[in-house]
Structure 1
């Protein structure tokens, strides 16, 4: 039990990554309240950051009480395949294990297993829907932290209309132009930078042609990865949105004195939950 619902810690064999994949799922109290189809529960997908696994978000982001309040489930995927055995897989916290970067790798040997983009869309979410039939996989929203924040932006913009809403905590907004992006895009996709742009939110937003849904993200003024390294570049997404379908729909909030930690994430989980509840049709707020 967790708050009013249940937190499930699961694993399954993925035909896409060719490995066993771990996933945590929070089923809110509403999931257990009725057996009728009228109570189908929408889903919030939470993507974690570098070095993380499904436990980080489910143990420290504190979405559960808000999931109970509004009535949505939360799916916490892993951040990469594990135990593949590629040379250098565990040499750095910034690349390889726990750093899948939510792309489909094209460069060997990573292309054999590191297919996190397809895994999320074509394996994980459909599998969750089949296993838990009271979940409504036609109503899915996405959020994430750091690398996962980039992932949330990327998935939302690359798949217009698939996700009802998007939010992010300290996202890497322009990965093709920052060190983390150079490491991961280069390592997984190769040297052709046109392939990098296919996953870069700053470029994807310029081509977005889906529903108008506000993108909400927070970044702390004392986030060392931004202040000292400029890894996040949060202003770039706002600038890129100008003149696009989402002009005026990118809401970037700079929050004083917060850093990059899960203390920061948990502090704004309530605001993000309310944002998603609105677009998932769980509140009466006008869109």
Structure 2
């Protein structure tokens, strides 16, 4: 493995390997950490890569330690890449009020254009281009011709916009309780105003609802959304109906509403097996 990736830790997990790496990101201009699960099948053959994007306040470790996804990934033969949710480190700007929904832990998977964020907050380019390139140039046994992407909340938003904007790369999209229309919710309008400026027209390329309205439905990327109906953010922040109404009837969008489930990792752990099975059918 090239020295650009530094192995921080390795644990055996369901006969696979749970790895954690650090590296210097040129795109984000800071040091970054990410997690990668390699299933047992990776010993003998390159395996498909599924990217997971976490939500507000998370790091690369939340999903790895709480979701229980490795059991299913091992059975299916899938690698899971879990990047961080924002740039980190000395000199990387944070919200002046230290709010949880802007700055560190809240990169929103966009390319910021406004000061002071633009110098570091290029999370879209990091997830779509830089990190996959680093992995391609390593000796890790990954099959980049078979990729999917999924995520939770802010990360669900990230998975939707990245998958919809890159149908040639990602064969399927999954999302738990995603922010589907950031231009129409408090979390999204705050972040997009800060990162992209006041002109809401500039937000459209980072809005799943707008993207699904504008996309070529002949080359539609299949989507699965799982949403808990006891989610405390359902009505004010997530608003899944906005995306459901925007998608044409023929679009392969599969929506599952779950009574009694909230926004937590207990919800994710309950249905991550179904999400991975769905993604795997398209790989």
Flag whether TM exceeds 0.5 (same fold). Answer: yes
After superposing on structure 2, the runs of 4+ consecutive aligned residues of structure 1 that deviate more than 6 Å are: none
Segment of structure 1 superposing worse, 128-137 or 46-55: 128-137
Cα distance, 1:87 vs. partner? Answer: 5.8
Whole-Å separation in 1 of the counterparts to 2:140 and 2:17: 16
The one of 232, 243, 248 aligned to 1:242: 248
Partner residue, 1:20: 31
Q: Which residue of 2 aligns with 1:134?
A: 141
2:228 aligned to 220, 230, 235, which one? 220
Note the C-alpha offset of 1:89: 5.5
Distance 1:89 1:203 in 2: 30
> How many residues matched?
270
- Say yes or no: does 1:92 pair with 2:99: yes
Moved more, 15-24 or 81-90: 81-90
The residue that corresponds to 1:266 in the other structure is 269
Please say if residues 95 and 104 of structure 2, whose CA atoms lie closer than 8 Å, have aligned partners that are also in contact: no
For the aligned residues, what is the CA RMSD?
1.4
The whole-number CA distance in structure 1 between the counterparts of 2:219 and 2:96 is 39
Task: Provide the residue aligned with 2:5 in structure 1.
Answer: none
Secondary structure of the corresponding residue to residue 266 of structure 1? helix
* CA distance 1:203–1:68, shift in 2 (3 Å): same
Identify the match of residue 202 of structure 1 among 204, 209, 212. Answer: 209
1:74 alignment partner, SS class? strand
Decide whether aligned partners of structure 1 residues 113 and 130 sit closer, same or farther in structure 2, where only a CA change above 3 A counts: same
Instruction: Tell me which residue corresponds to 1:8.
Output: 19
1:54 counterpart residue number: 60
Q: What residue number does 2:192 align with? A: 185
1:145 pairs with 152, 158, 168, which one? 152
Give, in whole Å, the separation in 2 of the partners of 1:66 and 1:80: 27
- Describe the SS at the equivalent of 1:8: strand
Decide whether the 8 Å contact of 1:160 with 1:211 is kept in 2: yes
Going from structure 1 to structure 2, the CA distance change for 1:204 and 1:30 (only over 3 Å counts) comes to: same
Which sits farther off after the overlay, 11-20 or 124-133?
A: 124-133
Q: Which moved more, 1:158-167 or 1:91-100?
A: 158-167
Q: What runs of 5+ residues in structure 1 fail to find an aligned partner?
A: 281-287
- The one of 119, 126, 149 equivalent to 1:112 is 119
1:63 alignment partner in structure 2: 69
Quickly say closer, same or farther: Cα 1:21–1:256, change in 2 above 3 A. same
Indicate the SS of the match to 2:145: strand
Alignment of 1:67-82 (within 5 A): 67-82=73-88
Gaps of 5+ in 2: 1-11
User: How far apart, CA to CA, are the structure 1 residues paired with 2:93 and 2:273?
Assistant: 39
Counterpart of 1:283 in structure 2 is: none
